[in-house]
Amino acid sequence: MENPRLTFVTPTILAGDRSLTSLVAHELAHSWSGNLVTNGTWNDFWLNEGFTVYFERRIMEHLYGREYADMLQVLGRDALHHTIEEIGATSPDTHLRLNLAGRDPDEGLTEIAYEKGCSLLLTLEGLIGRPRLDAFIKEYFARFSFQAMDTDSFLHYLRAELLDQEPGLEARLQLSDWVDSPGLPANAPAVTSHRFGAVDQALARLAAGTAPAALAPETAKWSSHEWVYFLHGLPPTLSAEQLKSLDDAFHFTTSGNAEILTAWFPHTLRAGYSAADPALENFLRHVGRRKFLVPLYRALLATPDGQQRARAIYAEARPNYHSVATGTLDTLLAERT
């Protein structure tokens, strides 16, 4: 929770290698987008999170370089595509401006607000350049400090202070497509990562028969983001024996990084790699964050004896979970009963 000057964060950011500092940057950036200028209603949540993700990536670029920030952009875009596929490409819930009337606001807390909002700002940056966008953003937060902002008011300000100053700019931005149309607009900038290109090469070598241990020299300096991308790139058909070879080489099961574990355990569950079961169950009993719990419970429920195992773990672990997690998991496990 991003209280000004007193942010409460999940203990899962303590990975032991300072690899998840982007979350710290994100929550600190909420001092501006979210606390200095606050979304007027939950329908306008993207004004909080779209700006904050954009700021987070800019901070990471400043600290660690453009190639590092590019990895975050690619992972974010992948998460956005997954969310759009899950919700439905034509669903109004993929609009930036939502309609949550009569609904739980939690239904609007998806990657749409975060990553589609960030992509809109990236598109605008590409059209006008960073110096102009930075000047606009600084003036926006100065002008509306300690006030609530809704989407209509923001669009009015954006047009008056920026878009209307350059004929044709709003058309090139395709603003209405971003705000009130589903999916990801066609003019969204492509995001690529040079460092992930090296991961793709390692995955190709692995698929061609290279032993995992032989990849050690080129993976020695990988960040957690490269490892997550690597795990997402593994085929879903790997056997338990193949996963053991990967685990022996890279020690995924004993990782202290929640992002890596959440990408690894679905593979172990699918393949029946039982050596990872104690670590998985320990993770589910001690981590209370929905982002990690939901995909792991879904993966567990998809296994032959998963319903019984999931219910047993959940009954023990539920008191330790955040309320937003139990709200989702109560429904998920009830559907599988």
- Known catalytic residues are 27, 114
Burial status of residue 16 (CB atoms within 10 A of its CB: 0-12, 13-18, 19 or more): exposed
CB count in 10 Å sphere of residue 332: 16
Radius of gyration of the chain (CA): 21
Query: Could you give the angle at the alpha carbon of 202 between the alpha carbons of 198 and 204, nearest 5°?
Result: 115
Rounded-to-integer distance, Cα 17 and Cα 251, Å: 15
Instruction: Say if residues 19 and 257 touch (Cβ distance below 8 Å).
Output: yes
Secondary structure tally for the chain: helices H, strands E: 18, 4
Rounded-to-integer distance, Cα 119 and Cα 111, Å: 11
Tokens of 181: 């149309």
